């Protein structure tokens, strides 16, 4: 695993409760109770991943990043096929509309895009669920993560959107702002 892979994935390979991340074989989601401690740990993990990624793209010019994952080309090919309207429109890619991502039609499109990656994209401990692990996505790529600028989504959505933004140079704005602020 490269340093970038480790940074993006969080590197710990731990589940939200600090264990291996696996669920017991007798786990029944229908009967599960919400555990505030687990929800808080999950929120912390999402924020840590968001902070790590934002630190990466403000330290290195995003358009020069070679890759975020070892599947970047495959992700972009599938993303272009399933979302040509998003990939080919810089304004739509810069300013995501949460309702378009989460509408019934949007959910179906994302599900169709994600399913081929189900067994392929794995977390650090080879758990085949990173593709649908929850994460935060910036609605406006020209701004930092904030309560108003964060959309909760799947890790594969994050990868697809951020790989496209990086390759098109759309994330370079935050890198330039960080460089100007450092002077």
Comparing CA positions, the residue from 109, 111, 116, 107 lying closest to residue 87 is: 109
Minimum mean pLDDT range among 9-13, 158-162, 163-167: 9-13
**For 32-63, what is each residue's pLDDT tens digit?**
666 677 777 777 888 988 999 999 999 999 99
By 3-state DSSP, what share of the chain in percent is helix, strand and coil, each rounded to 5? Answer: 55, 5, 35
The full set of domains in the chain, from first to last, is 3-9+33-175 (1.10.3560.10)
Q: What is the mean pLDDT of the chain?
A: 82
**For 56-85, what is each residue's pLDDT tens digit?**
999 999 999 999 998 999 999 999 999 999
- Produce one character per residue of 17-52: b if its CB has 16 or more CB atoms within 10 Å, e if not: eeeebeeeeeeeeeeeeeeeeeeebbeebbeebbee
Other Cβ atoms closer than 10 A to 103? 12
**Segment (H or E) for 181:** helix 172-182
Mean pLDDT over residues 91-97, rounded?
98
Q: How does residue 20 score in pLDDT terms, banded at 50, 70 and 90?
A: very low
d(CA 100, CA 116): 22
Other Cβ atoms closer than 10 A to 58? 19
* Helices and strands in the chain, H and E counts: 9, 2
Tell me the three state secondary structure of residue 116: helix
Asked if residue 128 has pLDDT above 60, the reply is: no
Distant-in-sequence, close-in-space partners of 68: CB < 8 Å, separation ≥ 6: 4, 8, 159, 162, 163, 166
Backbone angles phi, psi at 24, to 5 degrees: -60, 150
């Amino acid at each position: 695993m490269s340093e970038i892979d480790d940074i993006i994935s969080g590197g710990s390979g731990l589940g939200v409760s600090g264990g291996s991340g696996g669920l017991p074989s007798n786990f029944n989601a229908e009967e599960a109770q919400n555990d505030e401690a687990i929800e808080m740990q999950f929120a912390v993990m999402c924020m840590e991943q968001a902070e790590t990624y934002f630190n990466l793209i403000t330290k290195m010019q995003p358009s020069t990043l070679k890759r975020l994952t070892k599947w970047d080309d495959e992700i972009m090919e599938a993303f272009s096929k399933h979302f040509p309207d998003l990939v080919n429109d810089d304004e739509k890619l810069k300013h995501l509309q949460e309702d378009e991502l989460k509408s019934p039609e949007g959910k179906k499109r994302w599900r169709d895009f994600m399913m081929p990656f189900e067994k392929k994209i794995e977390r650090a401990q080879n758990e085949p669920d990173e593709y649908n692990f929850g994460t935060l996505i910036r609605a406006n790529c020209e701004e930092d993560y904030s309560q108003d600028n964060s959309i909760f989504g799947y890790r594969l959505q994050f990868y697809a959107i951020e790989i496209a933004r990086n390759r098109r140079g759309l994330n370079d704005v935050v890198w330039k702002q960080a460089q100007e602020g450092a002077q």
